Structure 1
Amino acid sequence: MLSHAAEVSLSKYMTLLLRHQPERQGLVLDPEDGSCTLEELLNVITAASKWSKVTEADLRQVTANSDKQRFEIEGGRIKARYGHSHTKVAYTPGTPPPVLMHGTHQGVLPVIMDEGLRPMGRRYVHLSEGVHFAGLAGSRRGKLVLLSVDTVEAARLGVSFYYAGNEVWLADTVPPGCLAVYEPQAREHIK
């Protein structure tokens, strides 16, 4: 069993491989869903001397304990659920709850409220069903600001939403008219 520190470090490496730079390490991901076999990922990871002792059980431990549930294992295959920057993984459109959340920081709020949400360095805008995941994502770069997204209005304007699993939804963009700074008294509508 990995220590907490080793688990976090391995999770970051898995993120690099499955979301951002698979080709740099010779990992080939399925172009449809961004997955590979556990064996393929394990072979790439254990080729690095730092990770030579990693086992499939370690990969499963990291997947199970990820605070944002970044990874999914199904039928001997593993993938990052969201956050890809290397390729645009295909997702099936779905109908989200009426309100989703997006975490950001104070420094970019004026631009977002003027231009809407854009994927920036990723392939999709990341949204969540509750404040927990939105807060984890938004607190990394400065003072956290939570935005609520009116998905009914966004869908009316032509936005498609895709369910990535574990309360995470994706969209290509979200227009500014569908955004509001989250007010805690509106909490009864949000998990």
Structure 2
Amino acid sequence: MDEKRTVKTSKMLSRILRHDPGAVGVTLDAAGWVGVDALLAALARHGRPLSRAELDHVVATNNKRRFAYSEDGRSIRASQGHTVEVDLGLPAAAPPDVLFHGTAERTLQYILAEGLRPMSRQDVHLSADTGTAAKVGSRHGRPVVLAVDAAAMARDGHEFRVSANGVWLTGPVPAQYLRRTP
């Protein structure tokens, strides 16, 4: 599978497994899983044939590790980023003292006044490093990285979870926990 097809397939799977499983006629279970065979059959019915080997390649080579197989390898789901209602079943976890959020410069004033909100997603997504946060922010314009005082949030009762691919998830982040990084 060439790089161009790998990226195109990854984007298609993200849309299906995070936002619109009905686009190909599959249903996610309450935890976001769908059977691999059901997914592959649905893709074929919708003119997007994909082999298990190709799916394995996309899952294994995705630099953001957006997808995960179940322990038995029979089901697949997106690791986070859902706009459809799912419960990933991730346990609460103690975050590092500081986490980071990448955004576009044009949204900075609003965020510093109002805080971070999940918007259409279920959770606010945070990174453990500034490099990842900057990459995320650059998708939306000139990037700005915000430091999140995760230690203070946790002390104040906010819950954190970490997805299979290392993305930290939490609810809304009030503005008092945010500061712009240099």
Q: TM-score, normalised by structure 1?
A: 0.89
| Structure 2: distance between partners of 1:150 and 1:163 | 16
Q: What pairs with 1:92-131 in structure 2 (closer than 5 Å)?
A: 92-131=91-130
CA contact (8 A) 1:130 1:167 kept: no
1:84 CA displacement: 0.3
Q: What pairs with 1:135-146 in structure 2 (closer than 5 Å)?
A: 135-146=134-145
Alignment pair present for 1:62 and 2:58: yes
CA contact (8 A) 2:112 2:175 kept: yes
1:165 CA displacement: 2.2
Q: What pairs with 1:141-160 in structure 2 (closer than 5 Å)?
A: 141-160=140-159
Partner-residue secondary structure (3-state), 1:64: helix
CA contact (8 A) 1:18 1:79 kept: yes
| Structure 1: distance between partners of 2:14 and 2:24 | 13
Partner-residue secondary structure (3-state), 1:109: helix
Alignment pair present for 1:10 and 2:9: yes
Q: TM-score, normalised by structure 2?
A: 0.93
Which runs of 5 or more structure 2 residues have no equivalent in the other structure?
none
| Structure 1: distance between partners of 2:103 and 2:131 | 13
Identity of aligned pairs, percent? Answer: 36
CA contact (8 A) 1:159 1:173 kept: no
Equivalent residue, structure 2, for 1:30: 29
Q: What pairs with 1:40-59 in structure 2 (closer than 5 Å)?
A: 40-49=38-47, 51-52=48-49, 54-59=50-55
User: Structure 1 counterpart of 2:84, which letter?
Assistant: H
1:146 CA displacement: 0.6
Q: Which runs of 4+ in 1 moved over 2 A?
A: 88-91
CA contact (8 A) 1:19 1:80 kept: yes
Equivalent residue, structure 2, for 1:189: none
User: Structure 2 counterpart of 1:158, which letter?
Assistant: G
Partner-residue secondary structure (3-state), 1:8: helix
Paired residues, number? 179
CA contact (8 A) 2:124 2:171 kept: yes
CA RMSD of aligned residues (A): 1.3
